[in-house]
Amino acid sequence: MWYFGPSRIAAACIVFFLEIGATQAQIPPSTSELAGYKGLLEAAAKGDILGVAVPLATGADPNVRDREGRTPLHVAAYQKQYGIMRALLAAHADPNALENQRYDILTIAAVADDIEMLKIALQGGCSAKNITSPYRGTALIAAAHLGHAEIVQELIKAGAPLDHVNNLGWTALIEAVMLGDGGKSHQETVKALVSAGAKLDIADRNGQTPLMLAKNKKYNEIAAILEAAGAK
């Protein structure tokens, strides 16, 4: 019989809950919230360009917030209103604003696997270095977790910190292995991180390196990528 100490049991529980609810920490506006919005928040949600442009031209605050701390820019991002996002950014809406769950528009784009939104956010001044989410991670960690390889590549080009460790003790590379499925998209994610120079020897709180995790999960292709890069 295998015995797992308290730290390993706790880690296993964390993995389980993150695997079944990877994006639950993000809270898009509910139907009732959308119905109750007024002013810029309503216009942002509906994609009403005039409803955004006119108030902004007459001095409306582009960073007004709803009860969850979402600005019109967050609302537009959650609703995939790209034209509204561009209009708000042009009117100096804060591209790095965090809502109550500490998400910025870049991390919203990363979780949604939305390249167009990601590029709008980056071009509008949202930093790939922002510390976001209740896990104090980054957009890169969120994308790596989900195996959004193209998003990962764009974030790397934008200067995202490769080796940031979140409050669970995990880097983007660790999350790509530990929370991934070992399939093609996570293999491409690991390749992108390794090629960019992500450190291979950073271990989780149980002393498990990405290579150890890959071998434990029998992700042979990922293990081979890591070994070819010099991981021990």
For residue 8, pLDDT beyond 70? no
- Whether the per-residue pLDDT at 7 is higher than 60: the answer is no
Q: What is the pLDDT of residue 27?
A: 95
Q: Which one-letter amino acid corresponds to residue 17?
A: F
The pLDDT of residue 25: 81
Q: Which of 83, 156, 145, 137 is nearest to 111 (CA)?
A: 145
Give ranges for CATH 1.25.40.20 in the chain: 1-22+128-232, 27-100
What is residue 1's predicted lDDT score, i.e. its pLDDT? 28
Which residues, other chains included, contact 97 with Cβ-Cβ below 8 Å and sequence gap of 6+? Answer: 63, 71, 73, 74, 104, 105
Domain 1-22+128-232 has CATH 3.40.50.261: no
Per-residue pLDDT tens digits for 73-103:
999 999 999 999 999 999 999 999 999 999 9
Mean pLDDT of 197-206: 97
pLDDT per residue as tens digits for the range 178-201: 999 999 999 999 999 999 999 999
Q: What is the mean pLDDT of residues 50-69?
A: 96
Fold of 27-100: 1.25.40
* 132-168: pLDDT as tens digits: 999 999 999 999 999 999 999 999 999 999 999 999 9
pLDDT digit string, tens, across residues 9-38: 444 444 444 444 444 589 999 999 999 999
Residue 213 Cα distances to 112, 157, 179, 201, 222, angstroms: 26, 26, 10, 12, 10
- In angstroms, how far is CA 180 from the centroid of its own chain? 14
Alpha-carbon Rg for the chain, nearest whole angstrom, is 19
The pTM is what? 0.90
Token pair recorded at residue 166: 């979140």
Could you tell me if 209 and 169 are in contact, meaning their C-beta atoms sit under 8 angstroms apart? no
Please state, in angstroms and as integers, the Cα–Cα distance from residue 231 to each residue in 153, 179, 224, following that order: 21, 19, 9
